[in-house]
């Protein structure tokens, strides 16, 4: 996802052929998330989930989009998925950590095939979780749904932002403001930025047009919205140590209803 720097560049309109390529990449993203969902249980390591995802993606003649990604050549992302547990918001590096009963884990997956990307994420419960965590997951998933409803031609990006922010904050949670959604297509991160909040002193955001493909991804904290980056240079954690949830779909803007590509 983008850093929230207020930049709103020119969105890229995809041709029908490009959209078909994206459908395939996004379909693999959805399949990986379904595969992982059946393996989330106490005792499994995030590294095992990562190996499972990479094997599946490569078996579909595709590439893990996150592996080797980054701006710092000395610290490129080393894995196929991001696995973020409890107070880890996003970009958790999968390794030997065993999942425990009562935790929640957000799995973010990126896939590249035929030169086009798909991007999606889901938060899963590890066994039975507390009422607070269950409600956090439910609110975040509903916020994503409400954001997607606004992703229609003629609306603006900030219509998506407002729908997410108003619902989340109305439920007593907070949206992360330092990280935002984004366009996706030939690049994993394209314009326009898609924040989960309406920036102050800003315009209405980019106009949504048929053929735009965007990743809408509410990142919702139980407590404060502030976050920080861990010493590994990747893992984003909540400032107060309370749990966070993350749901994401790549969505195609059409002249009618938005189409979720990462189902």
CATH number of the domain within which 208 lies: 3.90.230.10
pLDDT greater than 50 at residue 154: yes
Whether the CB-CB separation of 185 and 14 falls below 8 Å is answered with: yes
Whether the CB-CB separation of 175 and 169 falls below 8 Å is answered with: yes
How many CA atoms are closer than 13 Å to the CA of 72, on its beta-carbon side?
8
Kindly state the DSSP code that residue 113 receives in the 8-state scheme. E
Q: What is the span of the domain harbouring residue 136? A: 2-260
Tens-digit pLDDT profile for residues 36-78: 999 999 999 999 999 999 999 999 999 999 999 999 999 999 9
pLDDT greater than 90 at residue 1: no
Q: In the structure, what pLDDT confidence band is assigned to residue 205 with cuts at 50, 70 and 90? A: confident
* Mean residue pLDDT across the chain: 95
pLDDT greater than 80 at residue 7: no
- Provide the pLDDT for residue 2: 45
- Provide the pLDDT for residue 241: 98
- Provide the pLDDT for residue 252: 98
Q: What is the mean pLDDT of residues 221-240?
A: 98
- Provide the pLDDT for residue 110: 98
- Provide the pLDDT for residue 10: 54
The number of domains in the chain is 1
- Provide the pLDDT for residue 11: 60
Contacts (Cβ under 8 Å, ≥6 apart) of 104: 85, 86, 123, 124, 125, 126, 129, 133, 136, 137, 243, 245
- Provide the pLDDT for residue 12: 85
Rounded to whole angstroms, the Cα distance separating 47 from 192 reads 32
Q: What is the mean pLDDT of residues 139-145?
A: 98
Instruction: For residue 199, give the 3-state DSSP assignment.
Output: coil
């Amino acid at each position: 996802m983008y850093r929230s720097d207020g930049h709103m560049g020119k969105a890229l309109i995809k041709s029908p052929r490009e959209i078909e390529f994206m459908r395939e990449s996004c379909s693999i993203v959805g399949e990986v998330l379904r595969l992982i969902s059946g393996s989330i249980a106490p005792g499994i390591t995030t590294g095992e989930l990562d190996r499972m995802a990479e094997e599946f993606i490569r078996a579909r003649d595709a590439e893990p989009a996150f592996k080797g990604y980054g701006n710092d050549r000395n610290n490129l992302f080393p894995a196929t998925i991001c696995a973020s547990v409890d107070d880890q918001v996003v970009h958790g590096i999968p390794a030997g950590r065993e999942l425990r009963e009562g935790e929640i884990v957000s799995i973010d997956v990126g896939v590249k095939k035929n030169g086009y990307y798909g991007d999606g994420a889901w938060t899963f419960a590890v066994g039975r979780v507390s009422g607070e965590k269950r409600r956090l997951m439910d609110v975040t998933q509903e916020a994503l749904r409400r954001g997607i409803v606004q992703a229609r031609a003629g609306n603006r990006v900030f219509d998506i932002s407002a729908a997410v922010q108003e619902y989340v904050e109305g439920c007593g949670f907070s949206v992360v403001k330092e990280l935002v959604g984004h366009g996706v297509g030939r690049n994993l991160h394209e314009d326009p930025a898609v924040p989960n909040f309406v920036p102050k002193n800003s315009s209405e955001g980019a106009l949504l047009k048929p053929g735009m493909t965007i990743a809408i991804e509410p990142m919702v904290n139980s407590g404060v919205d502030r976050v920080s980056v861990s010493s590994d240079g990747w893992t984003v954690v909540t400032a107060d140590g309370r749990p966070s949830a993350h749901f994401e779909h790549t969505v195609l803007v059409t002249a009618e209803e938005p189409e979720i590509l990462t189902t």
